[in-house]
Copies of this chain bind each other. A is one copy, B any other.
Amino acid sequence: MKYYDLPASPNARRVRIFMAEKGIEIPTQVVDMMKDENKEPWYLAKNSLGAMPVLELDDGTCIAESGAICRYLEELHPEPCLMGRTPLERAQVEMWHRRAELEFLLPIISIFLNTGKMWEGRRTQVPAWADFVKTQVEQSMTWLDKELDGKDYLAGADYTVADITAQSAFVMAKAALKMPIPEDLTNLNAWWDRVSARPTARA
């Protein structure tokens, strides 16, 4: 197998953390997006959308989309379990995984794309949209703080792929958008300290 990576991408990071939690090591090739390597024919043959990450199997089959790569690795390496052990647990982890993506990861990436200096001239930026999304993410942080009352992790007692996706989103919010978790959100800050202390957090 081979992992096509983009070090700064929260999508690539969440798969790296997932692999580190599983103890899986896969040879990695960085794709240089700033040099448009991801739009070259050899890469488009692996993912016609030109996005990272991609997991290439030994027979050349390629799996794109972070959630799909995690699911494949979960089936091949069930332990430690990161996506639930029963049908209900798996549904609840998926619910929280979707919430982490829809309330945090995708909006935070959208703010970055619509305001980031590295994207000026490379794509259309709509700052008014970023302003709106920023208020949405702030509201979602308040919502998640309440949801974490009495829980260690998003889906309950166990650390799962939902936490990995949320922490990858918060890394980008903090580092690239200067949107740290507000201090008064004590449950969310306690969760953040908990996930950030894991040896895999910097994968």
Contacts and interface: CB of A to CB of B under 8 A. Distances in A.
Interface in A130-147: 132, 143, 146-147
A183 B55 CA distance: 35
Contacts of A143: 48-49
Interface residues of A, number: 34
A87 interface: yes
Give the dominant DSSP class at A's interface: helix
A181 B143 CA distance: 38
A202 interface: no
A116 to B, nearest CB: 15
A63 B106 contact: no
Contact of A94 (B49, B68, B98): B68
Contacts of A71: 90-91, 94
A193 interface: no
A157 interface: no
A2 interface: no
B65 A98 contact: yes
A73 to B, nearest CB: 9
Given A132-B124, A143-B48, A92 B63 contact: yes
A151 B154 CA distance: 38
Interface string A158-195: 00000000000000000000000000000000000000
Interface of A: 48-49, 57, 61, 63-65, 67-69, 71-72, 75-76, 87-88, 90-92, 94-95, 98-99, 102-103, 106, 124, 126, 128-129, 132, 143, 146-147
